[in-house]
């Protein structure tokens, strides 16, 4: 057993039992961050804050929400929105955060792709990040079911139908997922459980993994510079703070992070109070009706690009293309064969690949919202093919990249 002495303070008492000084040093004051990074590196912290907003607002909504097909719609649209003091505020915070979190995730992901932050020892950061993306997608989808409006019901119907595997007709699997032939009480209850318990727990665990994965390779920097963190940390601790290429996570980097978070929160609460409409679909203000299919069924904006990869093809090919789009980003660290961890603008063909991918995803998103008719369906078809071809080409265009 360890040797304990009479504690001289509460901190000393805790220190002897939990080594809080060591934890503070490893996670905060001697967790070294490069100086040459820009505001895009604050997106991780913006995501943490947005997740916290989702948790807190979700807990308040949970106090009045009723997971019952007869009362769910009214508990949201009448009880929470009208009867409960400030219920509307918690709902707007929750809805806006659920939408904005995807915008920030996409910015964070594409920052990683642009700067090559998924390479050379950072693969686990990338993979855990992609698992977070999947978990957030499942969280958003299950949450969308809960108000039990028309879009909840029909989006639930369409998405669960995908599991029938087209001509495989795995209808038994679809019924097993729904717990019924159509979305009904069993469906609502299980998606409620997933939304408020299982997926949030998984997200918390994955955030822990994501942070743990950052600790050894450290964060990348905007110049693609290979920093010797031990040497630079020694310099810093010896007093040469200006000459060292690194700074402490707390409080140096965190104070910069907090400035970006502050600006973000102004934008966020502007949306919550004055422009929340974009986060709520008008069709979902009608209660679910299994006998009345809405004219257009489409997902929220953040799923439109992958929906548009599914839509232009026949059912079976569409499902394969859709499955491809879901998993391919995870494989990026292994598909990119180049030895360079530098910004895309210094990587020749990869720079073109990056910008075409980004613009094409925006085009797919726009087409996914429009009805699949005439010119729109042709543009959607070409964009979906381009998306697949780009990924297939990636190993070849990066294989011959010269070391910079």
Q: Contact positions toward ligand HEM, by CB under 6 A?
A: 41, 43-45, 47-48, 51, 105, 108-109, 112, 117-118, 122, 125-126, 129-130, 132-133, 136, 207, 210, 214, 219-220
User: What's the closest the beta carbon of residue 324 comes to ligand HEM, in angstroms?
Assistant: 17
Task: For the CB of residue 400, give the shortest distance to ligand HEM in the complex, in Å.
Answer: 24
Least distance (Å) between residue 385 CB and ligand HEM: 24
Cα separation, 102 vs 208, in Å, equals 19
Smallest distance, Å, CB 388 to ligand HEM? 20
Q: How far is the CB of 92 from ligand HEM (least distance, A)?
A: 21
Ranked by CB distance to ligand HEM, the top (closest) residue is 44
The residue (of 210 and 311) whose beta carbon lies closer to ligand HEM is 210
Q: Toward ligand HEM, which CB reaches closer, 133 or 307?
A: 133
Query: What residues contact 361, with CB distance under 8 A and at least 6 apart?
Result: 305, 387
- CB of residue 249 vs ligand HEM: minimum separation in angstroms? 9
The residue (of 220 and 338) whose beta carbon lies closer to ligand HEM is: 220
Cβ closest to ligand HEM, residue 133 vs residue 302: 133
Question: Which residue, 103 or 182, is less far from ligand HEM as judged by CB?
Answer: 103
Closer Cβ to ligand HEM, 118 or 268, answer by number: 118
Residue number, 253 or 322, with CB nearest to ligand HEM: 253
SS3 sequence, the chain? CCCCCCCCCHHHHHHHHHCHHHHHHHHHHCCEEECCCCHHHHHHHHHHHHHHHHHHHHHHHHCCCCCCCCCHHHHHHHHHHHHCCCHHHHHHHHHHHHHHHHHHHHHHHHHHHHHCCCCCCCHHHHHHHHHHHHHHHHHHHHHHHCCCEHHHHHHHHHHHHHHHCHHHCCHHHHHHHHCCCCCCHHHHHHHHHHHHHHHHHHHHHHHHHHHHHHHCCCCCCCCCCCCCHHHHHHHHHCCCCCCCCEEEHHHHHHHHHHHHHHHHHHHHHHHHHHCHHHHCCHHHHCECCCCCCCCCCCCCHHHHHHHHHHCCCCHHHHHHHHHHHHHHHHHHHHHCCCCCCCCHHHCCHHHHHHHHHHHHHHHHHHHHHCCCCHHHHHHHHHHHHHHHHHHHHHHHHHHCCCCC
Q: C-beta of 131: minimal distance to ligand HEM in Å?
A: 8
Residue 133: CB minimum distance to ligand HEM, A: 4
With beta carbons less than 8 A apart as the criterion, state whether 136 and 102 touch: yes
Q: How far is the CB of 109 from ligand HEM (least distance, A)?
A: 4
Q: Which is nearer to ligand HEM, 69 or 232 (CB)?
A: 232
User: In whole angstroms, what is the distance from residue 71 CA to residue 376 CA?
Assistant: 39
* Closer residue to ligand HEM in complex, CB, 309/332: 332
Shortest Cβ distance from residue 213 to ligand HEM (Å)?
8
Query: What contacts 246, CB < 8 A, 6 or more positions away?
Result: 32, 33, 34, 35, 227, 229, 232, 233, 236
- Residue closer to ligand HEM, measured from CB, 122 or 178: 122
């Amino acid at each position: 057993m360890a040797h304990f002495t009479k504690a001289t303070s509460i901190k000393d008492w805790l220190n002897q039992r939990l080594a809080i000084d060591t934890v503070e040093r490893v996670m905060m004051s001697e967790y070294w961050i490069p100086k040459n990074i820009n505001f895009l590196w604050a997106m991780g912290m913006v995501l943490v804050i947005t997740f916290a907003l989702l948790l807190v607002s979700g807990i308040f909504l949970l106090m009045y929400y009723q997971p019952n097909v007869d009362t769910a719609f009214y508990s949201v649209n009448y009880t929470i929105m009208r009867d409960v003091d400030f219920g509307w505020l918690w709902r707007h915070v929750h809805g806006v955060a659920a939408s904005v979190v995807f915008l920030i995730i996409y910015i964070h992901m594409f920052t990683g792709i642009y700067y090559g932050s998924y390479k050379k020892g950072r693969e686990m950061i990338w993979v855990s990040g992609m698992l977070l993306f999947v978990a957030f997608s499942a969280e958003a989808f299950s949450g969308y079911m809960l108000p039990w409006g028309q879009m909840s019901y029909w989006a639930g119907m369409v998405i669960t139908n995908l599991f029938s595997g087209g001509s495989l007709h795995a209808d038994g699997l679809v019924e097993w997922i729904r717990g019924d032939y159509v979305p009904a009480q069993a469906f609502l209850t299980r998606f409620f459980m997933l939304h408020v318990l299982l997926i949030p727990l998984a997200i918390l665990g994955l955030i822990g993994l994501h942070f743990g994965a950052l600790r050894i390779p450290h964060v990348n920097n905007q110049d693609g510079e290979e920093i010797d963190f031990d040497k630079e940390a020694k310099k810093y601790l010896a007093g040469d703070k200006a000459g060292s290429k690194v700074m402490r996570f707390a409080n140096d980097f965190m104070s910069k992070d907090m400035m970006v978070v502050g600006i973000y929160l102004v934008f966020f609460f502007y949306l919550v109070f004055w422009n929340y409409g974009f986060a709520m679909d008008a069709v979902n203000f009608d209660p679910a009706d299994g006998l009345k299919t809405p004219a257009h069924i489409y997902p929220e904006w953040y799923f439109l690009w992958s929906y548009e990869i599914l839509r232009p093809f026949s059912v079976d090919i569409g499902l394969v293309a859709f499955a491809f789009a879901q998993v391919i980003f995870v494989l990026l660290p292994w598909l990119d064969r180049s030895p360079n961890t530098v910004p895309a603008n210094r990587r020749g063909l990869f720079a073109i690949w990056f910008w075409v991918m980004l613009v094409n995803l925006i085009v797919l998103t726009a087409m996914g919202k429009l009805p699949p008719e005439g010119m729109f369906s042709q543009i959607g078809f070409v964009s979906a093919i381009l998306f697949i071809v780009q990924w297939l080409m990636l190993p070849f265009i990066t294989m011959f990249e010269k070391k910079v």
